[in-house]
Structure 1
Amino acid sequence: MADLGFDGRVAVVTGAGRGLGRAYARLLGALGAKVVVNDPGGAMSGEGTDPGPADAVVREIEEAGGEAAASHASVATFEGGRAIIDAALDRFGRIDVLVHNAGNHRPAPLAEMTPEDLDAVLDVHLRGAFNVVRHAFPAMCAAGYGRVVLTSSIGGLYGNRRVANYAMAKAGVIGLSNVVALEGAEHGVKCNVIVPAAVTRMAAGIDTSAYPPMEPELAAPAVGWLAHESCSITGEMLVAIAGRVARAFVGETPGVHRPSWTIDEVGERIAEIRDARDPWILPVVPSAHNDHISRSFAMASPATAKEG
């Protein structure tokens, strides 16, 4: 990353007043990007406002020789999403990079989770992603260039206890990213997902004393690369945890084709159905959706189908 710069680029980072978002914003600013630091400054539950965190990060970027502007709007509303993107367009005249990192946390056992707990988390993580992407995407397409980085979580990929709302939101972000990647491909707009882990205020109450180094700055370079013009991938997911960077992906087993099935036959063939030794990994761009259908149909065609 030391050789990659963002001179002339304008970046918006949501949830950038603390933790991971702050690390992303500071890195992009240090590498030459003009950064809109968005954060309403609420509590971890999403309640309340405080302009201080966003303003402080702006000062840090400026004191390091960069250029930044604060936005205190909330991603949780469509109008807030517009205001965040307009902050970049009005102040800097363009938007090249969007990193949606904003988040909140309302854990509860599934049997006790309220509709209010669900909506509060969906509004920030998932609807918030839509709200900012929806306003940034047309400007990026018109310019013929854009880099969008959305945030998922191992909670979205694998689930966890007491976070049904968070897991739902983070899984939904992956679907949104795939659509942005598909619709943006012809316009020079790439979209990927970061799956980060760091010790931030979201880890409050967790004993992290035995953790390896997991400061937000360890995850920031992966986001920086996804946000850079040299990024060579779209519609993918990168994991960044404790210095490890990896690719996460969705795959399918080839499965078993039969012209008809009974319940008993599914059970009898389940080991073959689940056999993952030769998986299908279908790239979102250009055509995973169609590839999935065509390969499945090919197994069912008279020329290729074989009854197992």
Structure 2
Amino acid sequence: MDIKGYLAAGVLKLVGRLPLKWAQRLGRCAGGLAVLFRTEGLRLSRINLQLCYPAMDAGKREQLARDSVVSTAIAGCEMASLWRHPWATNENAIVGVRNLQLLSQGEEDGRGTLMLMPHTGNWEIFGLFLASLGPSMALYAPPKIAALDPIIRTGREETGARMVPTNIHGVRALLKCLKAGHVAMVLPDQEPDMGGDFAPFFGRPALTMTLAHNLLKRTQCHCVFGFGKRVKGGFELVFLPAEKAIYSDEQKVSLAAMNRGVEACIATAPEQYQWEYKRFRKQPQGKSTIYRKKK
């Protein structure tokens, strides 16, 4: 194991030993320092929020950027804790579940459910909860630091979810999962590794994955959005319905509806979304320069 990997794994294990509440406190302190020292995450969050909420009061938008940076740091520490503790412990952090009945629609007719989980709040506890209810599957890309792979993989599979690679073999596995009437989990709000097209996101073109559209078209499964919202005392798991347009055979119509679904999740807790991701890096005319640092 290289030194960097050894240290990263050691830090993750150390943070993971903390109870969830203490991990959240550590994350809040780390996020506060990130804001204080004006990190790259804060700079990128400001840019994205300016693009997505141009009409918002500047002071409110600045506070939202800072809150988001803190939330992201908290989420990172939360995940370390969730991966290292048993489900019997983590389950106690769930203080409410909203609209769970949306999940039962796919179970009732045996068509399966495509669960779209944006990077809002904590998606790890949401995924663990889903897998605890029945067979489920999710795409998994090993981290760049190889030493972290067994820790993350073991944590995500704690309640029975099956991790499959982000390639054609993984896609085939997702298709089989959905056709068997089970749950397939996909994170829909980052630039795709396998096929994409431009669709509006907060009114701006964003390269959007076509995987969800293809899965829906080929399996006729149900589609639901969801995430773990951080609330007082733990997490509220939120399920939101997808627009009918997401089932359209027309790819652009479906992708636009999917992005509106992501926006609906963000609206529930905008400060908990990971705004520092370079969502508009690629544009129809080529690579954008909006994230370039000004000299």
TM-score by length of 2: 0.25
Instruction: Choose between structure 1 and 2: higher strand proportion.
Output: 2
Instruction: Choose between structure 1 and 2: higher helix proportion.
Output: 2
From the CA coordinates, give the structure whose radius of gyration is larger.
1
TM-score by length of 1: 0.24
